[in-house]
Amino acid sequence: MAYSEELIQSLKEKGQLLRRDCIKCIGVGVAGHVGGSCSSADLVAALYFHKMKVDPKNPDWEERDYFLLSKGHVAILQYAALAEKGFFPLEDLPRCKEIGFYLQGHPHLGIPGIEAGTGSLGQGLSLGSGIALGLKLDKKPNRVYVLVGDGETDEGQIWEAAMSSSAKKLGNLCAIIDNNGLQATGAIKDRLPNEPIADKWRAFGWNVIEVDGHNMEEILTALDDAELYTDRPTAIVAHTVKGKGISFAENQAGYHNRALTQEEYDLAMEELA
């Protein structure tokens, strides 16, 4: 399917907007998940600003699609998308992690638009699988999207969920793997290597689509193609760059969760403009 230049351009801009929101929220001198937020930003932009049916005025709308952030540590990215959509005020973003405030450091049920509490890696796909199974039992057409970190696929439960979701023929479930190759302390290949990641999902009975996770046209095509497979779930393996858009943070595991200096902050905001 062809997408208009206008749509592609506007979604790219949304991706950059979400990155700027994240950096603004992280600010100076306090650790925040810079790297993984920037690698996932285009994927999240494509979902919230184009693909998914959601209603900010009615977060529990029965016809909505579901998005679960299994890599819950980049909560700020999802909060930014929800705030930009109007689920809650943009001014609330910088107050994330404030004591007693509703925006916690990881997605928490009760926040408008959050579908599941995540943070203990490996559980979000099972939760999404359960929602998809419930929708299927009720013969509802809603779709479920789960964003999974590539490092997170070292968790055994991901593969339990992968087996289970294909066994239950959950065509309404789409996992998106943010494949940036890095985790908190370095390269995945030097820790518990997970490659060949696409082959693994295929072997578990999933429809697999590989994309450049920063190429909006490829992302949109994959999200649309996923719907053609009604008898099995789809895994979109999105090849991404950790810290995408911020020169000094790109492909640097050190910026997984780190405080920015004023100089770094200014440069990041300039580059993301």
Binding site for another protein (CB under 8 A): 66, 108-110, 115-120, 123, 126-135, 137-138, 156-157, 160-161, 163-164, 167
Asked whether 178 and 39 are in contact (CB, 8 A), the reply is yes
Q: Which is nearer to another protein, 160 or 250 (CB)?
A: 160
The least distance separating another protein from the CB of residue 162, rounded to whole angstroms, comes to 9
Q: Which is nearer to another protein, 47 or 182 (CB)?
A: 47
The least distance separating another protein from the CB of residue 265, rounded to whole angstroms, comes to 32
The least distance separating another protein from the CB of residue 224, rounded to whole angstroms, comes to 24
d(CA 109, CA 128): 14
Q: Which is nearer to another protein, 101 or 262 (CB)?
A: 101
Q: What does the block give as tokens for 43?
A: 């994927």
At which residue do the structure tokens 């450049």 appear?
212
CA torsion 123-121-102-109 (nearest 10°) is 0
Q: Which is nearer to another protein, 116 or 198 (CB)?
A: 116
At which residue do the structure tokens 């969920």 appear?
161
Among residues 215, 212, 234, 231, the alpha carbon closest in space to that of 223 is found at: 234
Among residues 99, 75, 68, the alpha carbon closest in space to that of 25 is found at: 75
The least distance separating another protein from the CB of residue 86, rounded to whole angstroms, comes to 22
Q: Which is nearer to another protein, 30 or 192 (CB)?
A: 192
Q: Which is nearer to another protein, 66 or 88 (CB)?
A: 66
Q: Which is nearer to another protein, 149 or 213 (CB)?
A: 149
Q: Which is nearer to another protein, 66 or 255 (CB)?
A: 66
The least distance separating another protein from the CB of residue 204, rounded to whole angstroms, comes to 13
The least distance separating another protein from the CB of residue 123, rounded to whole angstroms, comes to 5
Asked whether 136 and 164 are in contact (CB, 8 A), the reply is no
The least distance separating another protein from the CB of residue 131, rounded to whole angstroms, comes to 4
d(CA 173, CA 145): 6
The least distance separating another protein from the CB of residue 92, rounded to whole angstroms, comes to 20
234, amino acid identity: T
**Angle at 171 (CA atoms; ends 170, 177), nearest 5 degrees:** 90
Beta strands in 45-181 (DSSP E): 66-69, 144-149, 173-179
Phi, psi of 224 (to 5 degrees): -70, -45
Per-residue DSSP letter, 260? B
d(CA 132, CA 233): 10
Among residues 125, 117, 24, 35, the alpha carbon closest in space to that of 72 is found at: 117
